[in-house]
Amino acid sequence: MSKKLAGKVALVTGGSRGIGAAIVNRLANAGAHVALTYVSKPDRANEVVKTAQALGVKALAIQADNSDAGAVVAAVERTVRELGGIDILVNNAGIAIIAPIDNYRLEDLDRTLAVNVRAVFVATQAAVKHMQAGGRIINIGSCNAERVPFVGGAVYSMSKGALVALVKGLARDLGPRGITINNVQPGPVDTEMNPATSDFAKMLLQKVMALPRYGTAEEIASLVAYLAGPEAAFVTGASLSIDGGFTA
C-alpha cells in the first residue's frame, strides 16, 4: 500500500475493535503513527497496537472513556506529547442504546449525547489547537442520521444527526486554517456488536438494503483513509454515506 500518510500522526477514539481497529490498521498501513483510545479490555487494545507497530510505525493505546471530557482531552494531549503532534483525528467511539421513548431512561439519553456528540466536539477542540494546515478531522456518524427503519432508534439517530450539522459549521471555522472536517456515515457493518447473522440483520437485508449484504469494517476504513489523505484536500463539511443503499 502506498505510504501516503508517512510521518503523519493519527488518533482514533474507540480504536480497539471493529471499525475503529480497522481504521487504525488502515492508517498504519498508509504510514501514519497511530494512537487509539479504549474503555476496557487492554489486551485487545494492545493487540491492535502490536499489529500497527509490525508495520513499522509508532503506536499507542490510551485508556479513556469518551463520556469523560477530561479523559478525552488528556488522550489528545498524550498523543501529541508521545507521538510528536496530531495531524488526523478520527472520532470513532460511540454507543447505541436502543429503546422506545416510553422506556427510554434520561441517564441513557445523557450518556448517548456525552459519548456521541459532546466528546466529538471536545476532542476536536483539543486537537485543532495542535493541528497545522492539512489537518484532518473525520467523524464516524451513521446512516441512521437519515433513516431509522426500526423502533427505538430515535436518540441514537439524533446523536448522529448532530454530527451532520457539526461538520457543516466547523468546516467554516477550520477552513481558513487549512483543516478539513468530514462525517462518514456507515450503514450496517458486520462486527461483534452488530453481526450479519442476527435476526435484526435478516430484517434489514430483506426490507431495507439495496445491496444484499452487510459492509465490512475494512470498507469503512478505506473511506476514512481517503479522507485522511492528500486526494481529499478539497472535501470538507461533507457527510458521506457508505451504507450499501440503506438510505437509497
Residues labelled as active-site residues: 156
Nearest partner of 190 among 14, 22, 35, judged by Cα:
22
Which grid cell sits at 237? 463539511
Within 10 angstroms of residue 191's Cβ, the number of other Cβ atoms is 19
Write out the DSSP string of 175-235. Answer: GGGT-EEEEEEE--B-BTTB-TTSHHHHHHHHHT-SSSS-B-HHHHHHHHHHHHSGGGTT-
Q: How far is CA 28 from the centre of its chain?
A: 16
Side by side, the strands of the sheet bearing 180-186 are: 59-63, 33-38, 9-12, 88-91, 136-140, 180-186, 239-242
For residue 32, which of 224, 177, 237 has the smallest C-alpha distance? 224
CA separation, residue 4 to residues 1, 26, 59, 87, 122 (Å): 9, 11, 17, 13, 28
Q: Show Cβ contacts of residue 119 under 8 Å, excluding neighbours closer than 6 positions.
A: 13, 66, 67, 69, 72, 91, 93
Residues 128, 20, 183: CA angle, nearest 5 degrees: 50
